[in-house]
Amino acid sequence: MYRSHVLVCGGTGCTSSGSQEIILALQTELKKQGLEKEVCVVQTGCHGLCALGPIMIVYPEASFYSMVKVDDIPEIVEEHLLKGRVVKRLLYDETLTDDGVRSLSDTDFYRHQHRIALQNCGVINPENIDEYIGTHGYEALGKVLTELTPDDVIKTLLDSGLRGRGGGGFPTGLKWKFAKASENKQKYVCCNADEGDPGAFMDRSVLEGDPHVVLEAMTIAGYTIGSNQGYIYVRAEYPIAVQRLTIAIDQARKYGLLGKNIFDSGFDFDIDLRLGAGAFVCGEETALMTSIEGKRGEPRPRPPFPAVKGLFGKPTLLNNVETYANIPQIILHGAEWFASMGTGKSKGTKVFALGGKINNTGLVEIPMGTTLRTIIEDIGGGIPNGKKFKAAQTGGPSGGCIPTEHLDIPIDYDNLISIGSMMGSGGLIVMDEDNCMVDIAKFFLQFTVDESCGKCTPCRVGTKRLYEILDKITKGKATLEDLDRLEELCYYIKDNSLCGLGQTAPNPVLSTLHYFKDEYLAHVIDKKCPAGVCKALLSYEIDPEKCKGCTLCARICPAGAITGTVKHPHTINKEKCLKCGACMEKCRFGAIQKH
Ligand SMILES: Cc1cc2nc3c(=O)[nH]c(=O)nc-3n(C[C@H](O)[C@H](O)[C@H](O)COP(=O)(O)O)c2cc1C
Ligand code: SF4
Ligand code: SF4
Ligand code: SF4
Ligand code: FES
């Protein structure tokens, strides 16, 4: 028995801001104070507030310390762990109130969230199977193997309304039903942990913080569809996830929760890892399976669907990490419990990786139907530096931008599609008035051009042409005809590409064209970039009234474009100017403007 538990976040975000050093310093300091038998240090997965890492929670008080540094450790150990006095200066400021310390669950960041897929992340030690079992882990598997038939499981999933969290939103129960219905001695269960969308790290956090939940769900899937072998396809750039999965698989095998005769039910199931090299297209299900087979990860036409002919030509069930993470709880709490959350056709919760121009960047799990406004203003803490919200991008390279007018739309699969975006896997990038929407579309197109596998011409050549037109627009060289060609080409690529990558690649262009046409027109007609991003369209000027002739700008200009004498107004030679903005940053008198 320990008197105190100190939970230190060991997710990728906190690890990169130094949580491993914090753990070492903590262990050393506890030893120094003779507290190592009284205080237990636990490394957990992500809590969500990654921007404030490294994060530490001390129980039983549940004091939430953020941005902890190695130098803070002696004070935390001496003051809090030895003398029982909370170190107020390190507390997450939202938990600090006039009359004491507020619980973390009452803060704006957590108040609107509901954690199902993330329920164990930040709570248990992911490298210790006993901690998972201690939170009802593997109970759902026990129930399934000893009390339920495969059809019972499928009915529960169908009734729950769970839909795939990997992007498409296909009903999970239906997918399991199809895979079960395929007759074959050998079937496979796959987990898609490729997560290639820029800015997304939902699946990584589940794997790092709660790897057993995926193993448990896949084993339930194996029993349900009649498979004895599972594969987790995880990108090699996720070393912490790979390490924790390896440990978890090993532990589950030792406990008899993977392998032969699980729970004495006569059912055998095992799971192996396959590492992906980080190509976005390998997240597409047919490409993923081709890659597991050891071949180049290229998509193939569907049908046949994986449920009929998948991995090694056998019936295969493939789900996303977050989809699996919901399943044990649905089995334990029942379909109605799950279906009571969310909207008409989108049940339960969804995890989003909040990024971009937002104060609380990190990971959030919200009930379906929560509005974007709640996510951005309440959970996300609004836009930094008093800037104005411009758009939120959901669905990554397959999605679109949502403008202010739709901030109050309840988020679910169908609503997002109806406003020209999509759920995708859960990346949510917030943009403010300083973002240029043409530039954003160009960024996503650059990504798809780089990631297109090249198998079919509409995608390989078409996305490149789209990129070129966007580039022409940002350089002020496009005409109105180019805008028409841009739109026409978008629909052609959507209609003629072989896989989802090409079919959705034009979405960022179409949605920005739809909501921000005036910005495109400003680039094309006025040769201006209203947000001041597109370099070729900018010009820097010095206001002679404000210029004090301090010479700072002339000294910093890398192009020698600024001339003038001390105490006299300076001027910029536009021919020479590289538009780097260094002079504007340097001028203390606000005399330099960009137009
Ligand atoms: C280009 C492309 C990339 C994809 N990347 C992922 C991914 O990284 N993770 C994922 O779960 N699904 C991804 N998908 C969707 C999968 O093909 C598949 O629909 C999904 O994994 C099915 O699981 P679910 O039903 O649980 O959502 C991608 C699809 C496309 C077209
Ligand atoms: S649409 Fe693009 S990514 Fe998909 S198969 Fe064709 S070329 Fe490859
Ligand atoms: S830094 Fe500003 S005030 Fe100084 S010379 Fe340049 S423009 Fe004028
Ligand atoms: S923007 Fe850069 S290159 Fe242009 S005048 Fe200023 S410092 Fe010189
Ligand atoms: S990685 Fe530590 S809070 Fe997200």
Tell me the pLDDT tens digit for each residue of 171-183.
999 999 999 999 9
Separation of 210 CA from ligand 5 center, angstroms? 13
Instruction: Report whether residue 547 contacts ligand 3, using a CB cutoff of 6 Å.
Output: yes
d(CA 68, CA 83): 19
Which helix (H) or strand (E) is 30 found in, with range?
helix 19-32
3-state secondary structure of 307: coil
DSSP three-state, residue 226:
coil
| Beta-bridge mates of residue 193 | 234
Residues 2 and 6: their CA atoms lie apart, in Å, by: 10
Burial (CB count within 10 angstroms: exposed 0-12, middle 13-18, buried 19+), residue 312 = exposed
Averaged pLDDT for residues 478-493: 97
Cα–Cα distance for residue pair 39/28, rounded to 1 Å: 12
Query: Which ligand has the minimum distance to the alpha carbon of residue 578?
Result: 4
Q: What is the pLDDT of residue 431?
A: 97
Which one, of 235, 241, 229, lies nearest residue 196 by Cα?
A: 235
Does residue 217 have its Cβ closer than 6 Å to ligand 5?
no
Pocket test for ligand 2, best of 282, 398, 453, 507 (most atoms within 8 A of CB): 453
Tokens read off for 307:
């449920």
Q: Does ligand 4 come within 6 angstroms of the Cβ of 540?
A: yes
Decide if 347 contacts 161 (C-beta within 8 A). Answer: yes
C-beta separation of 14 from 54 below 8 A? yes
Residue 81's pLDDT is 95
Ligand 1 binding pocket mutation candidate from 170, 284, 302, 321 (most atoms within 8 A of CB): 284
Q: Which residues pair with 345 in a beta bridge?
A: none
The pLDDT value recorded for residue 98 is 74
- CA–centroid distance for 135 within its chain: 25
pLDDT classification of 102: cutoffs 50, 70, 90: confident
Distances (CA, A) of 20 to 25, 36, 45, 407, 476: 9, 17, 12, 39, 49
Quick check: CB of 52 below 6 Å from ligand 5? no
Peptide bond into 304 cis (omega under 30): yes
* Local confidence band at 10 (pLDDT 50, 70, 90 cut-offs): very high
Under a CB-based contact definition with an 8 Å cutoff, are residues 474 and 523 in contact? yes
Name which of 140, 423, 25 is nearest 132 in CA terms. Answer: 140
Reported confidence tier of residue 538, pLDDT bands at 50, 70, 90: very high
For residue 22, what is the DSSP state?
H
Which pLDDT band holds residue 564 (cuts at 50, 70, 90)? very high
Q: Which tokens sit at 150?
A: 């495969």
Mean pLDDT on 101-117:
89
306 contacts 187 by C-beta, under 8 angstroms: no
**What is the 3-class SS of 244-264, one letter each residue?**
HHHHHHHHHHHCCCCEEEECC
Q: How confident is the model at residue 414 (pLDDT cuts 50, 70, 90)?
A: very high
Segment 300-349, tens digit of pLDDT? 999 999 999 999 999 999 999 999 999 999 999 999 999 999 999 999 99
Q: Which residues contact 559 (CB under 8 A, 6 or more apart)?
A: 576, 577, 578, 580
What's the distance, Cα to Cα, between the start and end of the chain in Å? 66
- Is 572 a pocket residue for ligand 4 (Cβ < 6 Å)? yes
Ligand 3 atom, smallest distance to 552 CA:
1
What are the C-alpha distances in Å from 92 to residues 10, 63, 104, 108, 316? Answer: 18, 9, 9, 12, 46
Q: Classify the phi-psi angles of 560: left when phi > 0, otherwise alpha if psi is within -120 to 50, otherwise beta.
A: left
3-state secondary structure of 560: coil
Confidence of residue 1 (pLDDT cuts 50, 70, 90): confident
- Binning pLDDT at 50, 70 and 90, where does residue 278 land? confident
Q: In angstroms, rounded to a whole number, what is the distance separating the alpha carbons of residues 485 and 513?
A: 12
Rounded to two decimals, what is the model's pTM?
0.94
How far is C-alpha 371 from the geometric centre of its chain's CA atoms? 18
**Cis ω for the linkage preceding 60 (within 30 of 0):** yes
Which CB contacts under 8 angstroms, 24+ apart, belong to 480-485?
480/524, 480/525, 482/524, 483/513, 483/520, 483/521, 483/524
The band of 595, judged by pLDDT with boundaries at 50, 70 and 90, is confident
Query: In this predicted structure, what is the pLDDT of residue 473?
Result: 98
The overall average pLDDT reported for the chain is 95
Q: What SS3 state is found at 13? A: helix
Instruction: Determine the distance separating the centroid of ligand 2 and the alpha carbon of 296, expressed in angstroms.
Output: 13
pLDDT at 97: 77
* Distances from the Cα of 158 to the Cα of 241, 338, 495, 532, angstroms: 30, 11, 31, 50
Q: Whose CA is nearest to atom 3 of ligand 5?
A: 50
Strands (E) across 375-446 are located at 389-394, 400-403, 427-432
Give me the half-sphere count of Cα atoms (radius 13 Å) on the Cβ side of residue 460. 7
Rounded Cα gap, residues 375 and 354, in angstroms = 9
Which two tokens mark 259? 């392998």
- Ligand positioned closest to the Cα atom of 285: 1
Band of the pLDDT at 140, cuts 50, 70, 90? very high
State mean pLDDT over 113-129: 96
Amino acid letter, 334: G
Q: Does ligand 2 lie within 6 Å of residue 505's CB atom?
A: no
Instruction: Give the closest residue (by CA) to ligand 4 atom 8.
Output: 557
pLDDT above 70 covers a percentage of the chain that reads: 100
Strands (E), 263-348: 267-276, 316-320
- Please count the helices (runs of H) and the strands (runs of E) in the chain: 24, 20
Report residue 198's pLDDT band, with 50, 70 and 90 as the boundaries. Answer: confident
Neighbours of 69 (CB within 10 A): 13
SS3 276: strand
Q: What is the DSSP letter of 371?
A: B
Give the span between the Cα atoms of 78 and 9, in whole angstroms: 21
pLDDT of residue 96: 79
Pocket test for ligand 1, best of 192, 234, 235, 494 (most atoms within 8 A of CB): 192
pLDDT bucket at 101, cuts 50 / 70 / 90:
confident
- If you ran DSSP here, which 8-state letter would residue 176 be given? H
Residue with tokens 């009571």: 340
Token reading at 170: 């296909």
Q: Which atom of ligand 4 is nearest to the CA of 573?
A: 5
Atom of ligand 4 nearest to the CA of 559: 3
Q: CA 104, 106, 108 angle in degrees (round to 5)?
A: 95
Structure confidence at residue 486 (pLDDT): 98
Contacts of 494 (CB under 8 A, 6+ apart): 502, 503, 504, 506
- What's the confidence (pLDDT) of residue 94? 82
